Structure 1
Amino acid sequence: MEFKPVTHVLFDMDGLILNTEDLYTVAFQNIVSQYGKDYTFELKLKLMGSQAHETAKIVVSHLDLPVTPEEFIAQTSKEFEKIFPDTEVLPGARCLIEHLSKHNVPIGLATSSSRESYELKVNKRHKELFSLFPYKTMGSSDSEVKRGKPYPDIFLVAASRFPDKPKPEQCLVFEDAVNGVKAARAAGMQVVMVPDPRVDESLRTEATLVLKSLEDFKPELFGLPPYDD
């Protein structure tokens, strides 16, 4: 596939920068186990990239849980408080973010997380890294983001926060989730996908480029400054 040069970069957070997708699985399974249910990878695929209220509705409905979506959100919040402060940065993420920041490439965060969830994940161990993002869009808390991924709203809103208002084709998105890739493409942006290895090949086809790790990314493919030797 041909890659087109870009000037601005948007990053998803969960499962791309931080290992929180693994932690979401633990938290959700802890909750649904109380009702004799399993939180499967197939269900997880449907949810990745969704806003918090959308996720709760889908889980409660799909698993026929005897709770309301609001009650499910309250239960998850308690789980998140326990496990999110110990998040880890995934391979290649810190190096890429620091490299782009050093070379004055405009970068933004476009996460479906709420502000409260973001702070749980970041404040204890990763504030310095995330301070490199001058522009942050948190979909579950942002009134401008009307719909979660796979709709394009979050990436269009995130791009609009750059002072020079780049066109969609000037933006490159980094994502791990199928819904996130769909959202980026719907926004008219190129997207680099770093999927969970369990994601079927057929679900990766919309991505501009698929990598096993952010460590494998070559910025110059998209006209960005190459790594220093």
Structure 2
Amino acid sequence: MSDHLPIQAVAFDLDGLMFNTEHVFFLSGDALLQRRGKTMTPDILRGMMGRRALEGFEHLSSHLEKPEDPHELWLESQEIFRSLLQENLKPMNGLFELLDYLEELDIPKCVATSSPRPYLETLLVQFDLTHRFPISLTAEDVTHGKPHPEIYLNAAEKMGVAPGRMLVLEDSETGTKSGVGAGAYVVSIPHEYSNYGDFSSAQFIADSLTDARVLDLFSTQHS
């Protein structure tokens, strides 16, 4: 017996949830820091993950011996990141299977990411996913970035459901807090770059996008 309200829509985070971009970001961030005699650490990565770009690079800048302009750091990082994408970017396990499953059930879905819209569009085009996500929210669409709940409150509104009827899939502590703050049903799927986080506020921690417990959220209401 299900102990939650029926799920009527799904909001996907992007980086580290749909694609292994956190791995690529780690590589590019480490290369950026090595130019300055440093390396990427869990503490630096933790402070950047799930946040909007400039907020993340403000955190990175604070770890440098001489703080630099976050915008300039972001631009330099983007050059490195783009050079690594083609060879290293992959969809996360189960992404296409879950999308197929949701579309079979006619469950609305969207992407809600702290990343900029041009970046989101680049990834969706690369994997022919643009038509599968007619609704998306990016850094440009909110006043407050994650962990503030604004982006997920807006996602629920755009999909026409109450936040409590929306499943949020997140890989970071920051994003998990955002979804929980919005009143959504949040499932966290951490990976090697985010599994240090506190996910105690999530409904449960899944192993992958096709974890049986994730699929079971829909089977009870469409059986």
The TM-score with structure 1 as length reference comes to 0.87
Aligned to 2:195: 199
| Amino acid across the alignment from 2:114 | S
**In 2: Cα distance, 1:110 partner to 1:48 partner:** 14
- How far the C-alpha of 1:69 sits from its partner, in A, is 0.8
**AA paired with 1:53?**
L
Counting aligned pairs with the same residue, the percent is: 29
Cα distance in 2 for partners of 1:64, 1:136 equals 38
Partner Cα separation in structure 2 for residue 220 and residue 120 of structure 1? 28
Counterpart for residue 113 of structure 1: 115
Partner of 2:33: 32
1:20-68 deviation line (CA, Å, top 9, x unaligned): 0000000111111111112112221222110011111111113344421
Aligned equivalents of 1:18 and 1:220: distance in 2? 19
Structure 2: distance between partners of 1:217 and 1:173? 16
Q: CA deviation at 1:157?
A: 1.6
Which residues of structure 2 form unaligned runs of 5+? Answer: none
Give the Å deviation of 1:99: 1.1
**In the aligned structure 2, how far is the partner of 1:171 from the partner of 1:8?**
5
Checking the alignment, whether the CA contact within 8 Å between 2:14 and 2:111 is kept in structure 1 is: yes
The answer on 1:157 being equivalent to 2:154 is yes
Answer yes or no: is the 8 Å Cα contact 1:81–1:120 preserved in 2. no
Query: What is the distance in 1 between the residues matched to 2:34 and 2:204?
Result: 37
Deviation at 1:123, TM superposition (A): 2.4
Using a 3 Å threshold, how does the CA distance of structure 1 residues 64 and 119 change in structure 2: closer, same or farther? farther
Greater CA drift, 60-69 or 4-13: 60-69
Change (3 A) 1:118 1:64: farther
Give the drift of 1:6.
Answer: 1.4
> Number of residues paired by the alignment?
218
Gaps of 5+ in 1: none
Q: 1:158-177, aligned counterparts within 5 Å?
A: 158-162=155-159, 165-177=160-172
Q: Identify the residue that residue 97 of structure 2 maps to in structure 1.
A: 95
Q: Name the CA distance, whole Å, in 2 between partners of 1:69 and 1:221.
A: 43
- SS of 1:203's equivalent? coil
- CA–CA distance in structure 2, aligned partners of residues 69 and 187 of structure 1: 29
Q: Which amino acid aligns with 2:39?
A: D
Distance 1:185 1:73, change over 3 A: same
Superposition RMSD in Å? 2.1
Q: Is the 8 A contact 1:18 1:88 kept in 2?
A: yes
Q: Secondary structure of 2:81's partner?
A: helix
